[in-house]
Amino acid sequence: MGAKLNLDKLDLQIISEMMEDAQISYADLGKKLFVSGGTIHVRIKKLQEHGIVKGTKLNVDLKALGYDITAFVGIFLEKSSLYDTVAKDLRKIPEIVRLNYTTGNYSMFIEVVCKDINQLRFVLHDALQKIKGIERTETFISLDESFNRKVEVVQDVA
Amino acid sequence: MGAKLNLDKLDLQIISEMMEDAQISYADLGKKLFVSGGTIHVRIKKLQEHGIVKGTKLNVDLKALGYDITAFVGIFLEKSSLYDTVAKDLRKIPEIVRLNYTTGNYSMFIEVVCKDINQLRFVLHDALQKIKGIERTETFISLDESFNRKVEVVQDVA
DNA sequence: ATTGAAAGAGTCTCAGT
DNA sequence: ACTGAGACTCTTTCAAT
């Protein structure tokens, strides 16, 4: 971590490729980007040392595992000073996978992933309502996810 | 892909572990879960063949790359039948990383990732306004992301 | 289905450029 | 800073259980 770091085009190309497929071998990725596998290795090591690359994660089809339902919930707080304590309580609910403190209409914004409508109802009506400091909530259930991708880190993609 | 598949506790434990760190070796993961590396290999192969595991992705610190700003935008459509054509246009904007069709207040809901406020302003005022069929939008800029995690696939985590 | 061992492939290090 | 080769580790296959 830390220190200033200049990333060149090769670094960004490596990140871009591996954001989609982290299993590609250094040799193959080197071929694709016209450098040796050793160079890929050195660059990735540098990116890891600087905390830009933090590891790899398994890409799991949550729908296939039965997690069919995604909902977004805007939360109004009684007082915005309650953010920290409410955040702590929200973190304890495993179905809540993301929490953001936001400008605009809502004080905070969460994403909920569930296996069925009953589980979602439980989270929204039982779990959330038990938390002190939440004034009210507005729920948006996702009927379809058109896309969910990573931001482009290089302009001219391979 | 396809076919019915029963996942046992070991399958879910493997998924759970590798969702956080996909680089762990089969031997090490086997030790952790009290089976051989060969068994881990067979299970992962099965999960891949059934489309539950779709590969691995690089875990990149986007903030370190300069992508500091995340915003959520609720979109009101003139007619909900315009969803498909608007979705197609939204997909062309690289800063828009996610699009969901939702119930509730908004017709659709997007997530935008940018390097600075100017880039966000460009997306919101120029890019979005050019798209036919959008009536109006409501923006929520994330001031802080308290957490962003995966759903729990096993109750008793290691 | 799980195991352990052998074969094959990939990573990592390092001396040379 | 990049390369290629050698040492090492991991994946993959397979015969045995």
Q: Decide if A52 and B60 are in contact by the 8 Å CB cutoff.
A: yes
Distance B54 CA to C8 C1' (A): 24
Decide: CB of A38 under 7 A of nucleic strand D. Answer: yes
pLDDT at B4: 58
Extract long-range pairs of A87-95: CB within 8 Å, 24+ residues apart. Answer: A87/B146, A89/A131, A89/A132, A90/A131, A90/B146, A91/B146, A91/B147, A93/A123, A93/A127, A93/A128, A94/B151, A94/B152, A95/A119, A95/A120, A95/A123, A95/A127, A95/B151
Residue A5 pLDDT? 76
Concatenated DSSP letters of A69-108: EEEEEEEEESSGGGHHHHHHHHHT-TTEEEEEEESSS-SE
pTM: 0.94
Q: What is the pLDDT of residues B19-69, one digit of tens each?
A: 999 999 999 999 999 999 999 999 999 999 999 999 999 999 999 999 999
Residue nearest to nucleotide D13 (CA to C1'): B38
Q: Residue B23, CA: closest nucleotide via C1'?
A: D10
pLDDT per position as a tens digit, B89-147 = 999 999 999 999 999 999 999 999 999 999 999 999 999 999 999 999 999 999 999 99
Please say if the pLDDT value at position A158 is more than 80. no
Residue B50's Cβ-side half-sphere holds a number of Cα atoms within 13 Å equal to: 18
Please report how the helices B37-49 and B9-20 are oriented relative to each other, as an axis angle in degrees rounded to 10.
90
| Tokens encoding B148 | 């962003």
In angstroms, rounded to a whole number, what is the distance separating the alpha carbons of residues A122 and A42?
A: 49
Q: Cα separation of A100 and B149, whole Å?
A: 12
CA A35 / C1′ D4 distance in Å: 12
Give the model's pLDDT for residue B96: 98
Distance (Å, whole) CA B107 – CA B75: 6
pLDDT tens per residue across span A37-48 = 999 999 999 999
Looking at the DSSP bridge assignments, the partners of residue B75 are B108, B137
What is the band of A133 on the pLDDT scale with cuts at 50, 70, 90?
very high
Per-residue pLDDT tens for A73-119? Answer: 999 999 999 999 999 999 999 999 999 999 999 999 999 999 999 99
The confidence score (pLDDT) of residue A156 equals 63
pLDDT at residue number B2: 45
CB pairs under 8 A between A and B: 198
Q: What is the separation of C-alpha B33 from the centre of its chain, rounded to a whole number of angstroms?
A: 27
How confident is the model at residue B156, as a pLDDT?
64
| Helix (H), strand (E) at residue B43 | helix B37-49
Residues of each domain in chain B carrying CATH 3.30.70.920: 63-141
Q: What's A156's DSSP letter?
A: S
Query: What's the pLDDT at B1?
Result: 46
Q: Does A145 touch chain B (CB under 8 A)?
A: yes
Q: Is A63-141 in CATH node 2.70.150.10?
A: no
Beta carbon of A38 within 7 Å of strand C? yes
Task: Find residues 102-141 of chain A whose CB sits inside 8 Å of chain B.
Answer: 102-106, 109, 113, 138-141
Query: Which of 1.10.1740.10, 3.90.1150.10, 1.10.10.10, 3.40.640.10 is the CATH number of B9-49?
Result: 1.10.10.10
A113's CB contacts (< 8 A; 6+ apart) are: A62, A67, A69, A70, A95, A97, B151
Token code pair at residue A149: 């991708």
pLDDT (0 to 100) of residue B90 = 98
